[in-house]
Chain A
């Protein structure tokens, strides 16, 4: 009843830790009353805290208590006049479903969830899209297929794009609970559609999510995902290309060396070209430097595939790109020859060490010991003899 949101926020937060003070789990159901009220508040942060706390409380309740006191609250919230209550309801389904025992309550809960999925307010459908992934982890397999997937499909293909966006993120959690065949028929077409979505934000989300999704669906779907990933690396929108590039190492690990060399490398090559935006090239630089740790490249393969890329990126006009390469160099150095390091890396190191931007100089000097100590550990016992240069400090003049 208090009208100060700050107070409500703290109240919602505190109630989550209140179980011991009301007499332990057997009385904790009492807390659902006030939490239910807070969950229908107008202010978003208050509702989010209340939902979070309610989930903590629900996890400590007995199945009977959940049936008696949580399911009615959920029913009330789902039927709420204000969309705020219905948004909160979506966040409570997983915790509740996990705790109820009887099939009747479960059926009621699934019904409520499906009903919310076709809510008239986009905000509610977004909340449902966000909740569907986690919920799939606890709902019985047959009902995932019969109830949740159809609802999910509707969400993933509807306007506005903000609903589809969240649905993409749900794909990965859903894919984890489905079999390979079910993924192939139910999830992959959806992903393929989203990867070609007209909204770049949706494609961007697919680009971000694809490595995790590929891990979830397993090897069988790689053949289908590889062209999608290739397409995203060549997306018209730079943001999407950068997101895909960030996942390059993780995706290449699954795809393997051969697929990387034959199918992904050409796209990566394009991305590191001069007319590519700096943000994309920075992402590529990070990914390229991670590749040797995830792919088993032969020294020749490394020289053929990676060195030209590293070369071009070190030669880039943008400092962030070069710094990213330098940062990754300690990990890559063992697969590069010393002659290469001397001819290509040293000049860049020197040039950046004298950069007018102090942050660049700071990063270079931070990288220096890393580069050196990495080579100390990977160096053969017959190291070159000691060399004492003339004192460079005489060149170093005061400011």
Chain B
């Protein structure tokens, strides 16, 4: 039985209607609104903490990313939000220093790797950019980088049909190698 949902269930997260309102900005037609949604994601993650991010936010972001027939802009917006979530400081203040970010990083990795195989070049290079910033923030272990992240990036940097994708993939590869 689900408890009745109050307007702002605070420790729980947004209620259904507000969550819907919030997520619908990801498919807004206007760039500025989508970017406001990305900024709101960061702030809500700070307000509700890592548990909410893992249990509620990331599953929704994954759904938005995989949504059939969605515009590529929706996927790009998800990638922007994911990139920002991996920036330092998103953990809930007072949470244990090691666990939340590492586990969020693992949770969003399928989204980031999925982006590299997207049919739209923009999604591929925004994915590469997001990975580059995650690599710069050192959120993945060296073993994870070597096994799962580096290989697809190297392939893109050499073989992608799109020059921009090649460029941003090679930037991310460089970032991984300096790490």
**Other-chain contact of B47, A361, A376, A386, A395 (Cβ < 8 Å):** A376
A379 to B71, CA, bound (A): 38
A371 to B24, CA, bound (A): 18
Are A393 and B63 in contact, with the CB atoms below 8 A? yes
**Other-chain contact of A399, B43, B51, B56, B71 (Cβ < 8 Å):** B71
Is A383 an interface residue, CB under 8 A from the partner?
yes
Are A384 and B9 in contact, with the CB atoms below 8 A? yes
Q: Taking A365-B25, A365-B36, A376-B48 as contacts, is the C-beta distance between A384 and B17 under 8 angstroms?
A: no
Are A358 and B18 in contact, with the CB atoms below 8 A? no
A370 to B12, CA, bound (A): 16
What mask results when residues 82 to 98 of chain B are scored 1 for a CB within 8 Å of chain A, else 0?
A: 00000000000000000
Is A301 an interface residue, CB under 8 A from the partner?
no
Is A394 an interface residue, CB under 8 A from the partner?
yes
Are A393 and B60 in contact, with the CB atoms below 8 A? yes
A388 to B27, CA, bound (A): 21
A44 to B37, CA, bound (A): 47
The 7 closest A-B pairs by CB, nearest first: A369-B43, A398-B70, A392-B20, A389-B16, A358-B30, A383-B11, A373-B47
What mask results when residues 19 to 54 of chain B are scored 1 for a CB within 8 Å of chain A, else 0?
A: 111111111111011001101100110111001000
Closest to B16 in A: A389
Are B36 and A342 in contact, with the CB atoms below 8 A? no
Is A188 an interface residue, CB under 8 A from the partner?
no
| A:74-109 near B, CB below 8 Å | none
Closest to B71 in A: A398
Closest to B7 in A: A342
5 A-B residue pairings within 8 Å (CB atoms)? A345-B7, A383-B10, A386-B13, A386-B55, A397-B27
Are A346 and B7 in contact, with the CB atoms below 8 A? yes
- Interface of B with A (CB < 8 Å)? 2-3, 5-30, 32-33, 36-37, 39-40, 43-44, 46-48, 51, 55-56, 59-60, 63-64, 67, 69-71, 73-74
> Which residues of B are found within 8 Å of A397, using beta-carbon distances?
27, 67, 69-70
Q: Please give the distance in Å from A391's CB to the nearest CB on chain B.
A: 6
Are B33 and A365 in contact, with the CB atoms below 8 A? yes
- Interface of A with B (CB < 8 Å)? 338, 341-342, 345-346, 349-350, 353-354, 358-359, 361-362, 364-366, 368-373, 375-376, 379, 383-399
Q: Taking A349-B18, A391-B59, A396-B67 as contacts, is the C-beta distance between A338 and B7 under 8 angstroms?
A: yes
A383 to B21, CA, bound (A): 22
Are A387 and B47 in contact, with the CB atoms below 8 A? no
A365 to B30, CA, bound (A): 13
Q: Taking A342-B7, A365-B36, A371-B8 as contacts, is the C-beta distance between A388 and B55 under 8 angstroms?
A: yes
A29 to B32, CA, bound (A): 55
**Other-chain contact of A350, B9, B17, B40, B55 (Cβ < 8 Å):** B17
Q: Taking A349-B21, A350-B21, A393-B23 as contacts, is the C-beta distance between A385 and B12 under 8 angstroms?
A: yes
- Other A-B contacts than A361-B30, A387-B15, 4 sampled, CB-CB below 8 A, are A373-B46, A375-B10, A384-B11, A397-B67
Q: Which of B13, B21, B51 has the most CB of A within 10 A?
A: B21
Closest to B32 in A: A362
Closest to A370 in B: B43
Are B63 and A394 in contact, with the CB atoms below 8 A? yes
Q: Please give the distance in Å from B133's CB to the nearest CB on chain A.
A: 22
A385 to B11, CA, bound (A): 8
Are A396 and B24 in contact, with the CB atoms below 8 A? yes
Q: Taking A338-B6, A350-B17, A376-B10 as contacts, is the C-beta distance between A366 and B36 under 8 angstroms?
A: yes
Q: Please give the distance in Å from A381's CB to the nearest CB on chain B.
A: 9
A348 to B38, CA, bound (A): 22
Closest to B22 in A: A368
Are A392 and B23 in contact, with the CB atoms below 8 A? yes
> Which residues of A are found within 8 Å of B55, using beta-carbon distances?
386, 388
> Which residues of A are found within 8 Å of B74, using beta-carbon distances?
396, 398
Q: Please give the distance in Å from B90's CB to the nearest CB on chain A.
A: 13
> Which residues of B are found within 8 Å of A391, using beta-carbon distances?
59-60, 63
Are A361 and B12 in contact, with the CB atoms below 8 A? no
Closest to A390 in B: B16
Q: Taking A368-B18, A394-B63, A396-B64 as contacts, is the C-beta distance between A387 and B13 under 8 angstroms?
A: yes
Are B6 and A392 in contact, with the CB atoms below 8 A? no
Closest to B52 in A: A386
Closest to B38 in A: A365
Q: Please give the distance in Å from A212's CB to the nearest CB on chain B.
A: 35
> Which residues of B are found within 8 Å of A365, using beta-carbon distances?
21-22, 25, 33, 36-37, 40
> Which residues of A are found within 8 Å of B9, using beta-carbon distances?
383-387
Q: Please give the distance in Å from B95's CB to the nearest CB on chain A.
A: 14
> Which residues of A are found within 8 Å of B43, using beta-carbon distances?
369-370, 373
Q: Taking A362-B36, A369-B43 as contacts, is the C-beta distance between A398 and B27 under 8 angstroms?
A: yes
Closest to B66 in A: A393
Are B60 and A361 in contact, with the CB atoms below 8 A? no
Q: Which of A366, A375, A387 has the most CB of B within 10 A?
A: A387
Q: Taking A396-B64, A397-B70 as contacts, is the C-beta distance between A341 and B2 under 8 angstroms?
A: no
> Which residues of B are found within 8 Å of A390, using beta-carbon distances?
16
Closest to B20 in A: A392
Closest to B14 in A: A372
